[in-house]
Amino acid sequence: GMDAPPVSHGGGVIAGTRHGSPHRGGGMLGGGVADAAMNAMGMGMGMGMGMAMGGGKNLSSSKRDTEPEKLFDDDDDDVDDDEEEEEEEEEEDSSEISASDEDGSWIAWFCGLRGNEFFCEVDEDYIQDDFNLTGLNGLVPYYEYALDMVLDVEMPMEESLTEDQQEIVESAAEMLYGLIHARYIVTNRGMHAMYEKYRSAAFGRCPHVFCQGQPVLPVGLSDLPRNYTVNVFCPRCHGLFFPKSTRQANIDGAYFGTTFPHLYLMTHPEMIPVRPSQQYIPRVYGFKINQTSLYFRNHDDEQQNSQNDNRNRRASRSRQGGGRR
C-alpha cells in the first residue's frame, strides 16, 4: 500500500508519484529509461570497438564531411536567392528603360544614338511649318511616311508596307531629319543649340598643334545629300579635318551644309579666335631647309600662285582707285 520510491538518475527525478498519484506514463518512462541506458552502454561499447578498428576515424571524418556540405548548400541557396533578386532588378530596370524609350520622341531617340552627337534636337514647331520644308519632298522618298515618323504620328497605312518598304521609310526619315537639321542650325534657335555643343567641344578639337585644342564646328562640302561626308572646320587656323570618330565620319555632310560654321562666326564675331602666331618650320639637324631645295618642289607652285593672286588683287585695286580719282 505504500507508494514506490522515485527512481533517480544523476540526482534528478525520472519517474514516480506526484501528490500521491502515479505520474502519467511513469512506469513506461522508467522502463524506457532503463532500456535507453542499456542501449547507450551498447553503443558506447560499439563505438569503443569501432575506434579500436579505425571506425571512429571514419565516423568523425564522415561527420566533418557532411557538415560543410550542409553549410555550402545553405550558402548556395543564399547566392541563388541573391542572383534571382538581381535578375528581377535588372528586368525591372530594362522594363523601365524600354518604357522610357517608348515615351520619348523619335527626334530624342535619333539624336541620342551613338555616333549622332553632332545633331541637335530640332523643334517640332519648326518641322510642322511647311515653309521650312519647301523642296524636300522631291529629295526624300516616301516623304509623307518619313515626315510622320519624325513627328511621331501614327501611320494607319503602316500595316500595308512590306519589310523592305519599312526599312526605306526609316532611312528616308533619317535623311529628311538631316536635311531639316541643315536648315534649322542656321536659324537663331538652331545656332543657340549648336553653341551649347560647341562650348562643350562636342564636335571635337582641332588636331593642329598650335591651335591648342581649339573646338571645331561641323561643315559639309555640298548641300546635296550623298556627295560628301561631314568634316570639321577650325575657326582658328581655318583648317578642314575629318572627325575623330569613325561613326561621326560616316554622317552625310549635307545634314550640316556648307554655310553653318561661317555664318555662325559672322553672327557671333566675339567667338572668332585669334589665328595662331606660331608656324612650324621644318629643320634637319637644327638647320632650316633651303626654299630652293627639292623638299619644297611641290610647294613652290602654290606659293607662286598665291603671290600672283595677291599681285593681281593689288593691281585691280589700284586701277579702281585711279579710275575713281
List residues bridging with 232 in a β-sheet: 218, 241
Q: What is the pLDDT of residue 224?
A: 95
C-alpha cell at 303: 606659293
Q: What is the pLDDT of residue 1?
A: 46
Query: Residue 285: left if φ>0, alpha if ψ -120 to 50, beta else—which one?
Result: left
C-alpha cell at 310: 595677291
User: DSSP labels for 197-225?
Assistant: HHHTTTT-B---GGGTS-B-EEE-S-SSS
Q: What is the pLDDT of residue 157?
A: 53
State the 10-residue block means of pLDDT for the chain, 325 residues long.
Answer: 46 40 41 46 48 44 46 50 55 42 82 96 96 95 94 73 88 97 97 95 96 97 96 97 94 97 95 93 94 82 60 69 50
Cα 111 from chain centroid? 13
Q: What is the pLDDT of residue 319?
A: 66
Q: What is the pTM of this model?
A: 0.62
Q: What is the pLDDT of residue 171?
A: 95
Alpha-carbon gap, residue 76 to 280, rounded angstroms: 67
